[in-house]
Amino acid sequence: MIISTNKIVSMTAANQNFNKVAKNASEYGDTIIFRRNKPAYILVDIDKMGNDFIKEYEKLKLKHLSDQLLNEYEIAYKKLAKWLLI
């Protein structure tokens, strides 16, 4: 993952001066907030990023949830599939 250093803010800096983080997100479209030297949060300027970004984000959330459910209930889904094919 490549992140512009202009977009990176520490959790401490975000807590101390959220207004600065919001301005940074407005300037670049988004800002990555790091916690313990790892990306933890993304602050997104919705006006700048556009509705297409939000739609894609929502699709990713649904895919992630779907993958989690498939992994968690894989055995039950396989049994159901066998039962339906009988």
Q: Is residue 1's pLDDT more than 70?
A: no
Q: How many CA atoms lie within 13 A of 35 on its CB side?
A: 6
Q: What is the pLDDT of residues 32-79, one digit of tens each?
A: 999 999 999 999 998 888 888 888 989 999 999 999 999 999 999 889
Region at 37 (left for phi over 0; alpha for psi -120 to 50; beta for the rest): left
**Single-letter amino acid, residue 54:** I
57, two tokens: 């984000």
Please state which CATH number belongs to domain 1-46: 3.40.1620.10
Q: Which residue type, as a one-letter code, is found at position 12?
A: T
Question: Does 5 have pLDDT greater than 70?
Answer: yes
The structural domains of the chain, with segments of one domain joined by +, span 1-46, 50-86
Q: What angle do CA 5, 8, 14 make, to 5 degrees?
A: 150
